[in-house]
Structure 1
Amino acid sequence: MIKAGCYSDEMTPKERMAALLAGTPFDRIPCSINPSYHAARLAGVRHWECYFSAEKIVEVQLASRRIFAVEAVISGPGLHGVAEAAGSTVIYPKEENSPYISEFAIQEECDLDRLVIPDPWTKGRLPLHLAALQTLMERLGTEVPVTTNVAGPFTVAANLRGTEPFLRDLYHNTEFAHRLLQYALQSTLAYILEAAKIGVKVSIADPTASTSLISPRHFHEFAFPYLRELISNIKRLTNCAPSLHICGNTKKIWTHMADTGAGILSLDDTIDLAEAKAAVGSLTALMGNVKPTATMFLGKPADVIREAKECLRKAYDNPKGYILALGCGLPMKAPVENVHALFQAAREFGRYPIDPGRLN
């Protein structure tokens, strides 16, 4: 199998991504994947140490770049960090499991009135990420994008209130729901303001806003306005439109997602990239959507390459650009060989000029 680095790139990942977003020529399709857990294991770092140490975050991201030649490095509060800084309790397992919330900050409506906007330099684990981002910018910022990942306001609100109570609020206490969403937005922006001073880019995931959980009408009323305001501020602060990922079949809200101002829509593997290209490809770049479980975890390198070629065939000519990636997060136990295979596919089959015949 061809490993990362066996194909010579003419551009750095930072140059490539800037060209894609600007609509100017670039050498090949970018590949976006975050194999932090795998890099930690290969570098001898216990994955849970990164939850508590900026130095370990940096060590693992440097290992990701060295081992896999990742095309971006990342550190950020993710889905839980802003809610944790505001008062929710997050458990960080030492086993091979993802963090989860054990107690929500807002049990009663009056609890919201007691909350203040968390200081990104003192609350929760936000300071760890800001410190890691500063070091990553110093070490790698000239060659690869340094990115911080945040949850969208709808997901932050759910992580402060609890998903089921918050979804009930949408029906029975709409004024409170909007107040909570505004608090979630402002808390996220407080972190973004400090991250932007470091010079990083931003990615947004808003999985609780999925139409698997809420209707398109509720998305437009409760998720869209706050995402649009968040993205507008990110563009103002960073001079770059963020990416936006929402889990599940987002077909009914593609136009809304594009109208948020996001520069890239990251699409779940339930989505047909060709359909998305036809619907919103003239409005935004697309990213995705190799299957994380069926292909990356359960498949072989040949399966990864085959599916990556299918994704390339459907979306390489998207008018606003295309990035090869997964449909969602990389499973912790996915084989390392499959990670290398995805990068291989981008380097071997995504190089311009692309020959569509090689993608069949």
Structure 2
Amino acid sequence: MTNKEILIKTLKHEETSQVPWVPFAGAHAGKLVGYSAAEVLQDGDKLFEALMEVNKLYKPFGQPVMFDLQIEAECLGCDLVWAEDGPPSVSKHPLEGQEEIEIPCECTIPKKEDGRIPMVLDVMKRMKEAVGDTTALYGLICGPFTLATHLRGNDIFMDMYDDEDAVIEFLEYCNKIAMKMAEYYVEAGMDVIAVVDPLISQISSAHFELFMSRPFSDLFARIKELGAFSSFFVCGDATRNIEVMCKTEPDSISIDENVNLLAAKEITDRYNVVIGGNIPLTTVMLHGTQQDNMKFVVDLLDSMKDKKNFILAPGCDMPFAVPVENTIGAVQAVTETESVREILKNYVAVSEDIEVEIPDYANLKKPLVEVFTLDSATCAACQYMMGAANEAKENFGDAIDMTEYKFTIKENIARCKKMGVPNLPSMYINGELKFRSLVPAKEELEAAITAAMK
């Protein structure tokens, strides 16, 4: 049985003797062949070369072709800021600042000829021909809520309170774009359409049911009609939304380290939905050793009573600089679990003792806003929480201090542990957790800062 066949059987909820493995190597794929993120995400030949190296080194059962949530947004007029070590971020939101949402006409739905779509489709077809018989290929599309946020900016979070009908209509438009992209990608040979919507973790389950249930239900039904499998891919602490996500009937759900996988699997099993995840991106994959990665995988597999309906994967798009040997260690652990368990029986991880200084919050001269992120340059949920903080800083000026702590930096990992930061992204004011995996509306954040001034 091929790796692809094992993954497909898993997505069909059938028993397999082997847990499938899907490495989400987006920009990281470029590192394997000496290309920057900006190069590999804009040049089809370089992207294809990088993907083939991923396929050779990491032996995937399933493999994404392109991990970039800005493809659709770029076609619709969003300006992008490119990075050497991660996907681009949106720097200009065409509909931001409008008093009311001006929903674009349907003629603006991206066509196959627009933006980087032709490049992506070409690489998909080349990958299908090269490895499509042995590897299930994933086409990743930007989910409707994240796309709406790319277009509207942080205003969308206040819109959800001020104009529910307009948001519902706006999301319907964004969902039509997602459906069209799914059509393009299935036609190009993709076996799985992953709807990547990281900002779902930043809203309540009530808002999900009000605004998101119908779009996602319709989208997953459409993907099924197209003959592909579906994956609902969310980053951040989506714990409160796992059940409502299941009710939209995707074939699978992918989560990151912010979610307790075993607890989430109890929910997904009730709905017969496959769950994928969730090797920690920074503490294990980026900064850990090969043995740390092997041990995490073995321990995770050993902790699961029932491995049916499970796909092992990184929690999200792998950091660019993940050491190759760490990912190879994860591959060995999932495919040769018994022998790796024996190798690691006496292994004890060595933790670094990094000292960090915590501010004297009780004696601050002015409010201090601290935003703990994975990295606002590469994580969409982090970007928009950081965007809310930046807007507050502009409004309050020198009356407040504001800083970001990126979890990709070892000292900030130590800071998170010392502060007891529960999830990323989170925002603290004067050392108190105010917003945990919820992007605050402008008025809400300003009220919290004003209260801290008294």
Q: Taking structure 2 as the reference length, what is the TM-score of the superposition?
A: 0.70
* Larger relative contact order, structure 1 or 2 (CA cutoff 8 Å, min sep 6): 1
* Partner of residue 109 from structure 2, selected from 81, 100, 118: 118
Please give the alpha-carbon distance, in whole angstroms, between the structure 1 residues aligned to 2:26 and 2:67.
Answer: 15
Say whether residues 1:313 and 2:297 are aligned partners: no
- What whole-Å deviation, never above 9, does each CA across 1:270-305 have from its counterpart, x for those lacking one? 222221222221321111111111111111111111
Please give the alpha-carbon distance, in whole angstroms, between the structure 1 residues aligned to 2:196 and 2:39.
Answer: 23
Q: What is the letter of the counterpart of residue 338 of structure 1?
A: N
Higher mean C-alpha displacement, 104-113 vs 323-332? 104-113
8 Å contact from structure 1 (residues 86, 115) kept in 2:
no
Report the 3-state secondary structure (helix = DSSP H, G, I; strand = E; otherwise coil) of the residue aligned with 1:139.
helix
* Partner of residue 184 from structure 2, selected from 178, 189, 194: 194
Partner of 1:146: 137
Say whether residues 1:337 and 2:325 are aligned partners: yes
- What whole-Å deviation, never above 9, does each CA across 1:307-336 have from its counterpart, x for those lacking one? 1122212336145x1111122221112211
Say whether residues 1:298 and 2:302 are aligned partners: no
Report the 3-state secondary structure (helix = DSSP H, G, I; strand = E; otherwise coil) of the residue aligned with 1:106.
coil
Please give the alpha-carbon distance, in whole angstroms, between the structure 1 residues aligned to 2:217 and 2:87.
Answer: 28
Q: 1:68 to 1:110 in 2, by over 3 A?
A: closer
- What whole-Å deviation, never above 9, does each CA across 1:59-90 have from its counterpart, x for those lacking one? 11111112222333322473211122122122
8 Å contact from structure 1 (residues 268, 288) kept in 2:
yes
Q: 1:115 to 1:285 in 2, by over 3 A?
A: closer
Say whether residues 1:133 and 2:124 are aligned partners: yes
Please give the alpha-carbon distance, in whole angstroms, between the structure 2 residues aligned to 1:90 and 1:300.
Answer: 34
8 Å contact from structure 1 (residues 36, 60) kept in 2:
no
8 Å contact from structure 1 (residues 288, 323) kept in 2:
yes
Partner of 2:32: 42
Superposition deviation, residue 40 in structure 1:
2.4
Q: 1:12 to 1:173 in 2, by over 3 A?
A: same
Q: 1:316 to 1:31 in 2, by over 3 A?
A: farther
Q: 1:266 to 1:316 in 2, by over 3 A?
A: farther
Say whether residues 1:217 and 2:218 are aligned partners: no
* Partner of residue 51 from structure 1, selected from 41, 59, 62: 41
* Partner of residue 274 from structure 2, selected from 285, 288, 293: 285
Please give the alpha-carbon distance, in whole angstroms, between the structure 1 residues aligned to 2:85 and 2:239.
Answer: 32
* Partner of residue 98 from structure 1, selected from 87, 93, 100: 87
Partner of 1:158: 149
Gaps of 5+ in 1: 1-10
Report the 3-state secondary structure (helix = DSSP H, G, I; strand = E; otherwise coil) of the residue aligned with 1:238.
coil
RMSD: 2.3
Higher mean C-alpha displacement, 184-193 vs 326-335? 326-335
Superposition deviation, residue 114 in structure 1:
5.2
Please give the alpha-carbon distance, in whole angstroms, between the structure 1 residues aligned to 2:115 and 2:331.
Answer: 34
- What whole-Å deviation, never above 9, does each CA across 1:102-157 have from its counterpart, x for those lacking one? 11121324642456333331212122111111111111111111111012111111
Report the 3-state secondary structure (helix = DSSP H, G, I; strand = E; otherwise coil) of the residue aligned with 2:336.
helix
Please give the alpha-carbon distance, in whole angstroms, between the structure 2 residues aligned to 1:22 and 1:254.
Answer: 20
Please give the alpha-carbon distance, in whole angstroms, between the structure 2 residues aligned to 1:159 and 1:77.
Answer: 16
8 Å contact from structure 1 (residues 34, 70) kept in 2:
no
Partner of 2:396: none
Partner of 2:76: 86
Trace 1:242-281 onto structure 2 (pairs within 5 A). Answer: 242-281=230-269
Superposition deviation, residue 246 in structure 1:
1.6
8 Å contact from structure 1 (residues 77, 126) kept in 2:
no
8 Å contact from structure 1 (residues 65, 71) kept in 2:
no
Higher mean C-alpha displacement, 292-301 vs 43-52? 43-52
Partner of 2:227: 238
Please give the alpha-carbon distance, in whole angstroms, between the structure 1 residues aligned to 2:35 and 2:316.
Answer: 24
Please give the alpha-carbon distance, in whole angstroms, between the structure 1 residues aligned to 2:216 and 2:338.
Answer: 31
Q: What is the letter of the counterpart of residue 301 of structure 2?
A: L
Superposition deviation, residue 46 in structure 1:
3.4
Say whether residues 1:16 and 2:6 are aligned partners: yes
Q: 1:135 to 1:316 in 2, by over 3 A?
A: farther
8 Å contact from structure 1 (residues 40, 63) kept in 2:
no
Superposition deviation, residue 256 in structure 1:
1.0
How many residues align structurally?
339
Q: 1:205 to 1:316 in 2, by over 3 A?
A: farther
Q: 1:285 to 1:97 in 2, by over 3 A?
A: closer
Q: Taking structure 1 as the reference length, what is the TM-score of the superposition?
A: 0.87
8 Å contact from structure 1 (residues 86, 117) kept in 2:
yes
Please give the alpha-carbon distance, in whole angstroms, between the structure 2 residues aligned to 1:23 and 1:190.
Answer: 27
Report the 3-state secondary structure (helix = DSSP H, G, I; strand = E; otherwise coil) of the residue aligned with 2:141.
strand
Gaps of 5+ in 2: 348-454
Please give the alpha-carbon distance, in whole angstroms, between the structure 1 residues aligned to 2:73 and 2:234.
Answer: 18
Q: 1:239 to 1:337 in 2, by over 3 A?
A: closer
Please give the alpha-carbon distance, in whole angstroms, between the structure 2 residues aligned to 1:317 and 1:125.
Answer: 41
Superposition deviation, residue 208 in structure 1:
0.9
* Partner of residue 52 from structure 2, selected from 56, 62, 69: 62
Report the 3-state secondary structure (helix = DSSP H, G, I; strand = E; otherwise coil) of the residue aligned with 1:123.
coil
Q: Which entry has the higher C-alpha Rg, 1 or 2?
A: 2
